[in-house]
Amino acid sequence: MDTLKIYAAMALASLRARLEYKVAFFAFLFAVIFFYLAQLGALLVVMVRFKEINGWDMGQMAFLFGLLTFSQGFAALFFNGLANFDRMLIGGEFDRTLVRPLSPLAQIIVSKFEVSTVAHGIIGSVALYYGAKLSGIHWTFWKAAALPAVIFGGVLIQGGIRLAVTAVAFWTLKNESLVHTVVFSGKEFVVYPITIYNDGIRFFLTFIFPLAFVNFYPAQYFLDKRGETLFHPALQGLTPLVGVIVFSLSLWAWKAGVDHYQSSGS
Amino acid sequence: MVEFEVNSPVIEAVGLKKEFSVSEQGKGFAGAVKALFSTKKRIVRAVDGVGFSIQPGEFVGYAGENGAGKSTTIKILTGILVPSAGTATVRGVVPYRDRKANAANIGVVFGQRTQLWWDLPTSDSFEMLRAIYRIKRGDYADMMKKLSDVLDLGPLMSVPVRKLSLGQRMKCDIAASLIHRPKVLFLDEPTIGLDVVAKENIRQFLGEINRTEGTTIILTTHDMNDIERLCARLIILDKGRVIYDGLTEGLRQRFGHEKVLEVEFDGRSPAKTALPNLEIVAENGSKISFKYLEDGRSGGLAAIIGKLAADFPVKDILVREPSVEVIIRSIYEKTVSLPPYDGQK
CA distance readout (Å), A243 to A159, A209, A218, B32: 9, 11, 12, 40
Is A226 at the interface with chain B, CB within 8 A?
no
* Residues contacting residue A141 through CB under 8 Å, at least 6 positions apart: none
Using CA atoms, how far apart are residues A169 and A256, in angstroms rounded to an integer?
12
Using CA atoms, how far apart are residues B129 and B145, in angstroms rounded to an integer?
15
Residue among B20, B112, B113 minimizing CB distance to A264? B20
Query: What's the average model confidence in pLDDT over A216-225?
Result: 88
Q: Is A46 exposed, middle or buried (0-12, 13-18, 19+ CB in 10 A)?
A: middle
Is A144 at the interface with chain B, CB within 8 A?
no
* Residue B68 contacts residue B237 (beta carbons within 8 Å): yes
Using CA atoms, how far apart are residues B32 and B233, in angstroms rounded to an integer?
43
Nearest to A61 by CA among A196, A186, A237: A196
Domain definitions of chain A by residue range: 2-264
* Residue B206 contacts residue B1 (beta carbons within 8 Å): no
Compute the nearest-CA separation of B89 from chain A (Å): 15
State pLDDT tens for residues A207-219: 988 999 999 999 9
> H or E element: which one contains B282?
strand B278-284
Whether residue A54 has pLDDT greater than 90? no
Q: Residue B150's pLDDT is what?
A: 84
CA quadruple A15, A21, A23, A25: dihedral positive or negative?
Answer: negative
Is A99 at the interface with chain B, CB within 8 A?
yes
The nearest alpha carbon in chain B to A96 belongs to: B115
Residue type, B11: I
* Residue A100 contacts residue B179 (beta carbons within 8 Å): no
* Residue B201 contacts residue B223 (beta carbons within 8 Å): no
Q: Residue A241's pLDDT is what?
A: 95
Using CA atoms, how far apart are residues B126 and B113, in angstroms rounded to an integer?
16
Using CA atoms, how far apart are residues A164 and A161, in angstroms rounded to an integer?
5
Indicate left, alpha or beta for B92 from its phi (over 0: left) and psi (-120 to 50: alpha). Answer: left
The nearest alpha carbon in chain A to B84 belongs to: A263
Phi, psi of B294, deg, nearest 5:
-75, 125
Contact criterion met (CB < 8 Å) for A99 and B96: no
* Residue A170 contacts residue A258 (beta carbons within 8 Å): yes
CA distance readout (Å), A29 to A62, A63, A127: 22, 23, 18
State pLDDT tens for residues A59-97: 889 999 999 999 988 888 888 878 888 888 888 889 999
Q: Residue B39's pLDDT is what?
A: 65
Nearest to A243 by CA among A74, A56, A121: A74
Task: Determine the residue among B99, B178, B179, B187 to mutate to test chain A binding: the one whose Cβ has the most chain A Cβ atoms within 10 Å.
Answer: B99
CA quadruple B309, B311, B314, B318: dihedral positive or negative?
Answer: negative
* Residue A242 contacts residue A210 (beta carbons within 8 Å): yes
* Residue B18 contacts residue B69 (beta carbons within 8 Å): yes
* Residues contacting residue B176 through CB under 8 Å, at least 6 positions apart: B115, B116, B125, B126, B129
User: A222: which strand partners?
Assistant: none
Q: Residue B334's pLDDT is what?
A: 66
Contact criterion met (CB < 8 Å) for A99 and B104: no
Whether residue A129 has pLDDT greater than 70? yes
State pLDDT tens for residues A135-144: 888 888 998 9
Residue among B96, B117, B134 minimizing CB distance to A262? B96
Using CA atoms, how far apart are residues B276 and B106, in angstroms rounded to an integer?
53
Q: Is B137 exposed, middle or buried (0-12, 13-18, 19+ CB in 10 A)?
A: exposed
Q: Residue B57's CB: how many other CB atoms inside 10 A?
A: 19
Using CA atoms, how far apart are residues B329 and A250, in angstroms rounded to an integer?
49
* Residues contacting residue A148 through CB under 8 Å, at least 6 positions apart: none
Chain B contacts in chain A segment 15-34 (CB below 8 A)? 16-17, 20-21
Whether residue A200 has pLDDT greater than 50? yes
Contact criterion met (CB < 8 Å) for A265 and B134: no
The nearest alpha carbon in chain A to B36 belongs to: A172
Percentage of chain A with pLDDT > 90?
26
In terms of pLDDT, which residue wins out, B294 or A262? A262
Q: At what angle do helices B122-132 and B137-151 cross, to 10 degrees?
A: 140
Using CA atoms, how far apart are residues A218 and B205, in angstroms rounded to an integer?
63
Q: Which residues of A touch B81 (CB under 8 A)?
A: 262-263, 265
Is B176 at the interface with chain A, CB within 8 A?
no
Is A264 at the interface with chain B, CB within 8 A?
yes
Phi, psi of B337, deg, nearest 5:
-125, 140
Kindly report the CATH class assigned to B11-247. Answer: alpha beta
Using CA atoms, how far apart are residues A183 and A72, in angstroms rounded to an integer?
10
Q: Which residues of A touch B118 (CB under 8 A)?
A: 17
ipTM rounded to 2 decimals: 0.81
* Residue A143 contacts residue A229 (beta carbons within 8 Å): no
Q: Residue B3's pLDDT is what?
A: 40
Alpha helices, H only, A80-173:
85-91, 93-98, 104-111, 118-134, 141-167, 169-172
Q: Which residues of B touch A101 (CB under 8 A)?
A: 100-101, 103-104, 132-133
Compute the nearest-CA separation of A264 from chain B (Å): 6
Q: Residue B183's CB: how many other CB atoms inside 10 A?
A: 17
Q: Which residues of B291-322 are buried (b: 16+ CB within 10 A; e: fewer)?
A: bbeeeeebeeeeebbebbeeebebeeeeeeeb
The per-residue pLDDT of chain B, averaged, comes to 83
Number of A to B CB contacts under 8 A, please give it.
76
Query: What's the average model confidence in pLDDT over A90-118?
Result: 87
Is A51 at the interface with chain B, CB within 8 A?
no
List of E strands, B203-273: 216-220, 233-238, 241-247, 258-265
Using CA atoms, how far apart are residues A93 and B235, in angstroms rounded to an integer?
27
* Residues contacting residue B273 through CB under 8 Å, at least 6 positions apart: none
Domain definitions of chain B by residue range: 11-247, 257-320
pLDDT per residue, tens digit, chain B (345 aa), is 344 344 689 999 999 999 887 766 666 777 667 766 666 678 888 999 999 999 999 999 998 888 888 989 999 999 999 999 999 999 999 999 999 999 999 999 988 889 999 889 999 999 999 999 999 999 999 999 988 888 888 899 999 999 999 889 999 999 999 999 999 999 998 888 888 888 888 899 999 999 998 999 999 988 888 888 899 999 999 889 998 898 888 887 776 556 778 888 887 666 655 666 677 777 777 788 877 766 666 667 777 788 778 888 888 888 877 777 777 777 777 666 666 666 554
Using CA atoms, how far apart are residues B165 and B173, in angstroms rounded to an integer?
12
Secondary structure of residue B21 in the 3-state scheme: strand
